[in-house]
A and B are shown apart, each in its own frame.
Chain A
Amino acid sequence: MGSLKRQMQFVIIGNGIAGMSAAFAIRRLQKEARIIILSEDPNPTYSPCILPDYLSGEINRTRVFIRGFLDYLRENIQLSIPQKVVGLDIENKNVLLQNGHLPYDRLIIATGSKPMIPSIPGLDKEGVFTFKSIGDVDKIHTWKGFRAVVVGSGPIGVEVGLALKNRGYQVSLVECMERILPQVFDEYPSSRIQEVLEKNGIEVTTGERIIEILGQKRVEGVLSNRGKRRCDTVILATGMRPERGLVDKIIPPGEWGGIKVNHRMETGLQDIYACGDCVETASLIDERPILSLLWHNARRQGEAAGINAAGISKIYPGSLPMTGLEVFDLRAFSIGYIGASIDSNLDIIEERRNGGYRRAVLSRGVIVGIQSINWEEDIGFFFSAILRKEKMGLKKAFLSLRSPLFYIPKPFPLGRKFFKMETARIDIK
């Protein structure tokens, strides 16, 4: 027997991890509501974090997808793809589509991010790729090239460079700042990563700015401030920016160009929530607004937005930057802020052991970041210390947090203690 009460209609724009988490979170709380996901991408949800593995050929295409069409069907979530949203009508609560409109009771915007494309001439030539969606990777898969130039050396640039190297390309990594991974690692860890890249045959140049892409129809080379460089493939990995075209005129942009939301993922407009890469939230560490553009933050934001949209108050604690990289035999992790992004009261503690390296970043005695190289076993303790905003003295920082798991075990003393414990034994089972 159908109820007379009209069911709520939730509309979600974007089918990335944030939109998908929001949809599944709503479904957990409201069994009857109508949930509609609109997306331009014709694929079900996939994980962009594992696209480099697909590019290098380590995993096949089907493993990139984390949800199939059947999962949506089972949860009774309506997936309308490909569907382009052209605008919003906030007064009448409508989403404007290319042919018609869709009314909503609650709207969740999860449009994600778009690659930032530098303004240099020659970007329309064949062989210039961005690296964001699975469509981009499919294009690179069908492209035949030998020499690639990767512009930008963020985590995406480095991972794409490694994947192309695995595919047999000759790879050059070009960075315009003075070190690679400038927003993720400080000088020493960054130089260690650069060393390993160069040792394994990836050419790395820093302080080089691309001025023009050369060639007739196909790419034949790039021109930079250091001269000409021959290549047939150019990958633009110059960073991501929030995609906020839909609400550009309605909601003023935040400090970093994202949609500003509060801890409940509300945009300030009635019944409109936003989550994922397109939003700008408070940082978990010191409440300053940051763009997160990372998988785990988008997932938590999506869940929080879904739960709040369904009518239950849920606080999203804040975003935390966190990056992991595997570069040949070197593993590098960075959690929280790096030293270069903190301007006052900065303390750095470094520790080296057996080729491993760890660097804790402290601001006013509170741990705000940790970077590690080849020493990730007990970094989880630092992760939870950052979450707790733990205050620690300089010398004690490492001692107090080191996991007991990695002490060298000593032979067990067969003394007084042992027998005392034997007598205290009581069989419970």
Chain B
Amino acid sequence: MAEEKVIVFDPLYCSGCMYCMTACSTYHQGSTSLSKSRIHIVRHEGHAIANMMEEDHLIFDLITCQQCDQPYCQYLCPALAIEKDPMTGALKVNHDRCIGCRMCMVGCPFGAILYDSNRKQVLKCELCGGEPQCVRFCISGALKFLPKDLSHLVQRDRFGREKIRHHFKKVEGESR
């Protein structure tokens, strides 16, 4: 089994360009429609910003599937339609089984699952089979595709970011 990776967001670098959302909906849906994107960049407004100390850093936030280790969506699905992909570790919706009851949407603490009203089934981030298009098209470097054990370091401090930089250097060195 390959190393399990997740999409990680670093708000320090996000410029709010929504390229990731555009790329996601174009890649999966065939049409550029931000509402059908499985990844969402949101802008904090009003009360959320008023409480912030360093407002520059945390204006944008990410809403997408976190590929939980003990996922509520999987427990709640009455048709056992949400399965773990053994290769990438992503939670995938099996569209042969999904009956569109939306219980997984209700159980997701992040609000990361969408409902497709044309197909009458749910959609969620499936990591594009191991090569997320949102990360590929992120021009500012805010989205990163990291192994699960490094994912907590992003927002921690300078040293966390340093460690991640080392990780990418190592990966590049290996591929060459």
- Residue numbers of A with Cβ under 8 A of B are 47, 49-50, 53, 58-59, 63, 66, 295-296, 299-300, 322, 324, 326, 331, 333, 335, 376-381, 383-384, 399, 403-405, 407, 409-410, 412, 417-418, 420-422, 424-429
* Given known A404-B48, A405-B63, A417-B56, contact A428–B165 (CB-CB < 8 A): yes
Say how far B13's CB is from chain A's closest CB, in angstroms. Answer: 6
Bound-complex Cα distance A384 to B47 (A): 21
CB-based contact B109/A420 at 8 Å: no
Within 8 Å by CB of A407, from B45, B99, B106, B108, lies B45
Partner of B105, one of A322, A380, A399, A429: A380
A54 nearest CB neighbor, chain B only: B99
Say yes or no: B59 contacts A417, CB within 8 Å: yes
Do the beta carbons of A49 and B56 come within 8 Å of each other? no
Q: Report the Cα distance A107→B75, complex, angstroms.
A: 24
Tally chain B residues at the interface, Cβ within 8 Å: 41
Pairs across A and B, CB under 8 Å, 15 listed = A49-B78, A63-B96, A63-B97, A377-B105, A379-B106, A380-B110, A384-B109, A404-B42, A404-B43, A404-B44, A404-B48, A404-B63, A407-B43, A421-B14, A426-B141
A326 / chain B contacts, CB cutoff of 8 Å: 101-102
B79 within 8 Å of A by Cβ? yes
Q: How far is the CA of A59 from the CA of B98 in the complex (A)?
A: 10
Query: Across the interface, which residues of A come within 8 angstroms of B101, CB to CB?
Result: 49-50, 324, 326
Judged by a CB distance under 8 angstroms, whether B29 is at the interface is no
Neighbouring B residues of A410 by C-beta, 8 Å: 43, 45
Expressed in whole angstroms, the Cα–Cα distance for A322 and B78 within the complex equals: 12
> Nearest-CB distance from B112 to chain A (Å)?
8
Instruction: Given A295-B78, A300-B75, verify A426-B13 contact (CB < 8 Å).
Output: yes
Q: How many angstroms from the CA of A380 to the CA of B106 in the assembled complex?
A: 5
Q: Is B76 an interface residue (CB 8 A)?
A: yes
Does B99 contact A380, Cβ atoms closer than 8 Å?
no
**Taking beta carbons and an 8 Å cutoff, which residues of B are in contact with A?**
12-16, 40, 42-45, 47-48, 56, 59, 61, 63, 72, 75-76, 78-80, 96-97, 99, 101-103, 105-111, 140-141, 144, 164-165, 168
Q: What is the CA–CA distance of A409 and B18 in the complex, to the nearest angstrom?
A: 12
Question: By the criterion CB–CB under 8 Å, are B12 and A381 in contact?
Answer: no
Top 5 A-B pairs, shortest CB-CB distance: A49-B78, A384-B109, A404-B42, A380-B108, A66-B80
Question: Which residue of B80, B107, B165 contacts A380 across the interface (Cβ within 8 Å)?
Answer: B107
Give complex CA distance A383, B111 in Å: 11
Contact present for A324 and B103 (CB under 8 Å): yes
Bound-state Cα–Cα, A63 to B44, Å: 43
A381 touches B111 (CB 8 A): yes
A322-B107, A407-B45 known, 7 other contacts, Cβ within 8 Å: A376-B102, A376-B105, A379-B105, A380-B106, A399-B47, A404-B43, A410-B45
Cβ of B109: which chain A residues have Cβ within 8 Å of it? 380-381, 383-384
